[in-house]
Amino acid sequence: MSQHLSDAPRSAAAPAADAGHRDWWRDAVIYQVYPRSFADGNGDGMGDLPGVTARLPYLRDLGVDAVWLSPFYASPQADAGYDVADYREVDPMFGDLNDADDLVRTAHALNLRVIVDLVPNHCSDQHEWFKQALRDGPGSALRERFHFRPGKGAGGELPPNDWESIFGGPAWTRTTDPDGTPGEWYLHLFAPEQPDFNWDHPAVHDEFRSVLRFWLDLGTDGFRIDVAHGLVKAAGLPDIGHSEQLSLLGSAPMPYFDQDGVHEIYRGWRRILDEYPGDRIGVAEAWTPTIERAALYLRPDELHQAFNFEYLGTPWDAAALRRVIDKSLAAMGAVGAPATWVLSNHDVTRHTTRFGNPSSALPGGASTGGSLQLREAGDRELGLRRARAATLLMLALPGSAYLYQGEELGLPDVTDLPDEVRQDPSFFRAAGQDGFRDGCRVPIPWSGAEPPYGFGPAGGPSWLPQPATWAELSVEAQTGDPASTLELYRAALALRRELPALGAGRSVQWLDTPEGVLAFRRDGDGDGFLCLVNLTATPVVLTVPGGRPLLASSAQPPATAGPSDQVDGIDVTIAADTAIWWAI
Ligand code: GLC
């Protein structure tokens, strides 16, 4: 399948950015670990922190700079840990604080940085504050830390406003008063088990400043901030007036998202991050209506990065990709922030599967709103081929890239999970936005011929069943096979470290190309780099000004395989749905 077109070093021997490297995040590759599904150290079927720690050398060798861990805090797991009951405790299913400490220390010893998830929009209904608020009843001080309201209607039987939960159904749940009678309602933008904090309350601010310090003191290098655009709600919690609210990624302004008041919170957090040595960062999960609105979170006194969800939602289409790339670079450049790129995460269908479906099957991109979930397996071979090309495109762009665990193995989404094993809370709420997120959360295969494929001890369980076909996708099966997706990632990440042209601050110059083809140049100090991507279904020929091939996402016609140093005007044939990295 793939062909490494040069003898460029492929080992990832190069260490991660050294600990003192300022601005390390500006061109970092950050790998998302979903702790439930990465590695199970104790054999209970659920991934855990010791499992992650044991596998950190794999990530160092893969060649990433940092790890972002999805939540591992004390939680009843109503939303896979995004419902936090105690922000300063590790859930026993994942280990304890000593394990977190070990993980951070081990990562640092391997020159990997560690970013943890912070969930400030809502907590768990099992959080002490919320339990106490329920016990204390209407008018109590603790209730002011959440959004409690009397209902509408004669008996308060209707929700206080018309907001809908992202997971489906009303965004309000009615409580029962201590005396057993129906009482007030509380706001939850997500599941009922995830009450929203009231960020107008100073105690909420104080608490999160303290939580930030807790994890910074433990040595973490920063935070991925969950639902960063949701903390502040429009004053008076006004009705929306229609019911097309269900998308996280919509283009219409909503009174519960992207309110200007959030920025003051992040200015305060930035001051705390800056008090600590070593360039600690904040990354916004902000599903804003436009990339320009996302850039506001990255003004010099706010956060460092924001996920580029518009890029994630862009179909396999040259013109659309070029548009979103240009727009992202311009918007982020305007505030002095690096652009970021991401193709997959724990909330969306893996890109191998998205790209194997007709792009019309992707319900909406960032601009139109809508879910990024798909239920069809699609054309696996086509999807993987495009996914590999998409990875080389992404890793050649200026800025920081996010990888989601398992994408380096080319894992598809598991689209045929039986309903009875599903845990995604939105699956159980009719008309919810997502519902099928478990498909990208299946534990990843490491080795062996049978489940759990080294995820945990042989013969042990896994919290979601792994497909019978995953033996050939395991780390063990792919290691050393130059045609494998894993070796493609290793080679690409090693080159990315080596080539000055791919570093931070090096711009992109587009070259003229036929329709369906993207080509851009980046220049280092005296070295030039080309990324050539054919997004069409037939081979195309591009003429490049000499140089030599470095890496290709799929096998190339023999005519282009030979390195041709110093020859001017080489015709390069690029196979269908293929990206080539080229040195000049
Ligand atoms: C974010 C998380 C998602 C979670 C939601 C509620 O979007 O990525 O997994 O369900 O927030 O916390």
Q: Could you please report the per-residue DSSP string of 43-106?
A: SSSS--HHHHHHHHHHHHHHT-SEEEEPP-EE---TTTT-S-SEEEEE-TTT--HHHHHHHHHH
Protein residue whose Cα sits closest to atom 3 of ligand 1: 347
pLDDT tens digits for range 112-130 = 999 999 999 999 999 999 9
- Residue 52: the pLDDT is 98
Q: 3-state class of 40 per DSSP?
A: coil
Kindly tell me if the per-residue pLDDT of 361 is higher than 60.
no
Average pLDDT, integer, range 53-60: 98
Mean pLDDT (the chain) is 90
Average pLDDT, integer, range 364-371: 42
Average pLDDT, integer, range 295-310: 97
Which two structure tokens, joined as six digits, stand for 515? 């329709």
Q: How would DSSP label each residue in 399-457?
A: SEEEEETTGGGTPPP-TT--GGG---GGGGSTT-S---GGGG-SPPP-SSSSTTTTSSS
Mutate to test the pocket of ligand 1, among 117, 165, 190, 287 (most ligand atoms within 8 A of CB): 190
Average pLDDT, integer, range 386-410: 98
Kindly tell me if the per-residue pLDDT of 19 is higher than 80.
no
For the ranges 62-66, 147-151, 397-401, 430-434, the lowest mean pLDDT is seen at: 430-434
Mutate to test the pocket of ligand 1, among 36, 347, 424 (most ligand atoms within 8 A of CB): 347
Determine the distance separating the centroid of ligand 1 and the alpha carbon of 82, expressed in angstroms.
Answer: 6
Which two structure tokens, joined as six digits, stand for 383? 């999807």
Q: Check the CA dihedral 492-495-497-502 and report its sign.
A: negative
Give burial (CB, 10 Å; 0-12/13-18/19+) of 437. Answer: buried
pLDDT tens digits for range 483-529 = 999 999 999 999 999 999 998 888 999 999 999 999 999 998 888 99
Mutate to test the pocket of ligand 1, among 87, 167, 227 (most ligand atoms within 8 A of CB): 227
User: Which amino acid would we find at residue 565?
Assistant: D
**pLDDT-based confidence at residue 167 (cuts at 50, 70, 90):** confident
Mutate to test the pocket of ligand 1, among 69, 82, 440 (most ligand atoms within 8 A of CB): 82
Q: Is 190 in the pocket of ligand 1 (CB under 6 A)?
A: yes
C-alpha–C-alpha distance, residues 313 and 339, integer Å: 15
Domain ranges of the chain: 17-121+201-494, 128-187, 508-583
pLDDT tens digits for range 457-467 = 999 999 999 99
Cα–Cα distances (Å) from 501 to 338, 504, 550, 574, 582, in that order, read 15, 8, 13, 22, 11
Q: Check the CA dihedral 79-402-478-559 and report its sign.
A: positive
Kindly tell me if the per-residue pLDDT of 209 is higher than 70.
yes
Protein residue whose Cα sits closest to atom 9 of ligand 1: 347
- Residue 169: the pLDDT is 86
Determine the distance separating the centroid of ligand 1 and the alpha carbon of 121, expressed in angstroms.
Answer: 10
Kindly tell me if the per-residue pLDDT of 399 is higher than 70.
yes
Q: Is 79 in the pocket of ligand 1 (CB under 6 A)?
A: yes
User: Which amino acid would we find at residue 94?
Assistant: F
Task: Give every strand in the sheet of 578-583, ordered side by side.
Answer: 509-510, 517-523, 528-534, 578-583, 548-552
What is the radius of gyration, based on Cα positions, of the chain? 24
pLDDT tens digits for range 319-355 = 999 999 999 999 999 999 999 999 999 999 999 999 9
- Residue 459: the pLDDT is 96
- Residue 526: the pLDDT is 83
CATH class of 17-121+201-494: alpha beta
Contacts 24+ apart (CB under 8 A), 504-508: 504/23, 504/26, 504/27, 504/338, 504/398, 504/399, 505/26, 505/398, 506/398, 507/329, 507/398, 508/325, 508/329, 508/397, 508/398
More confident residue, 98 or 432: 98
- Residue 364: the pLDDT is 44
Phi, psi of 133 (to 5 degrees): -60, -40
Q: Which residues are catalytic?
A: 226, 275
- Residue 63: the pLDDT is 98
pLDDT tens digits for range 236-256 = 999 998 756 555 555 678 899
Task: Report which DSSP code applies to 503.
Answer: S
**pLDDT-based confidence at residue 85 (cuts at 50, 70, 90):** very high
Which two structure tokens, joined as six digits, stand for 29? 């590759």
Q: Check the CA dihedral 172-35-373-226 and report its sign.
A: positive
Q: Residue 62 in contact with residue 493, Cβ under 8 Å?
A: yes
- Residue 4: the pLDDT is 36
Q: Is 427 in the pocket of ligand 1 (CB under 6 A)?
A: no
CATH class of 508-583: mainly beta
For the ranges 76-90, 298-312, 372-386, the lowest mean pLDDT is seen at: 372-386
**pLDDT-based confidence at residue 436 (cuts at 50, 70, 90):** confident
More confident residue, 18 or 127: 127
Phi, psi of 216 (to 5 degrees): -70, -40
Contacts for 287 with CB less than 8 Å, ≥ 6 apart: 229, 248, 249, 250, 257, 309
* β-strand partners of 67: 31, 114
What whole-number percentage of the chain has pLDDT above 90?
Answer: 81
Q: Is 302 in the pocket of ligand 1 (CB under 6 A)?
A: no
Determine the distance separating the centroid of ligand 1 and the alpha carbon of 152, expressed in angstroms.
Answer: 29
Nearest by Cα to 455 from 37, 70, 72: 37
Which two structure tokens, joined as six digits, stand for 376? 């069809």
Contacts for 484 with CB less than 8 Å, ≥ 6 apart: 1, 2, 410, 477, 478
* β-strand partners of 518: 533
More confident residue, 535 or 432: 535
- Residue 362: the pLDDT is 56
Kindly tell me if the per-residue pLDDT of 11 is higher than 80.
no
Protein residue whose Cα sits closest to atom 2 of ligand 1: 226
- Residue 168: the pLDDT is 83
- Residue 2: the pLDDT is 36
Kindly tell me if the per-residue pLDDT of 1 is higher than 90.
no
> What length does the chain have?
584
Residue 320: how many CA atoms within 13 Å on its side-chain side?
13
Nearest by Cα to 390 from 577, 134, 158: 577
Give burial (CB, 10 Å; 0-12/13-18/19+) of 512. Answer: exposed
- Cα three-residue angle 172-432-163, rounded to 5 degrees: 30
Q: Is 347 in the pocket of ligand 1 (CB under 6 A)?
A: yes
Average pLDDT, integer, range 173-188: 95
- Residue 365: the pLDDT is 41
User: Which amino acid would we find at residue 534?
Assistant: N
Element (DSSP H or E) covering residue 390: helix 380-395
Kindly tell me if the per-residue pLDDT of 400 is higher than 60.
yes
Element (DSSP H or E) covering residue 543: strand 540-544
- Residue 426: the pLDDT is 83
Determine the distance separating the centroid of ligand 1 and the alpha carbon of 157, expressed in angstroms.
Answer: 29
Q: At what angle do helices 97-109 and 49-62 cross, to 10 degrees?
A: 10
Contacts for 229 with CB less than 8 Å, ≥ 6 apart: 257, 258, 262, 284, 285, 286, 287, 288, 297
Average pLDDT, integer, range 266-294: 95
Average pLDDT, integer, range 125-138: 97
Average pLDDT, integer, range 34-51: 98
Q: Is 407 in the pocket of ligand 1 (CB under 6 A)?
A: no
Q: How far is CA 364 from the centre of its chain?
A: 18
More confident residue, 19 or 293: 293
For the ranges 137-146, 393-402, 433-442, the lowest mean pLDDT is seen at: 433-442
Which two structure tokens, joined as six digits, stand for 145? 């830390």
The CATH architecture annotation of domain 128-187 reads Alpha-Beta Complex (3.90)
Protein residue whose Cα sits closest to atom 5 of ligand 1: 82
Atom of ligand 1 lying closest to residue 190 CA: 6
Q: Is 226 in the pocket of ligand 1 (CB under 6 A)?
A: yes
Kindly tell me if the per-residue pLDDT of 18 is higher than 50.
no
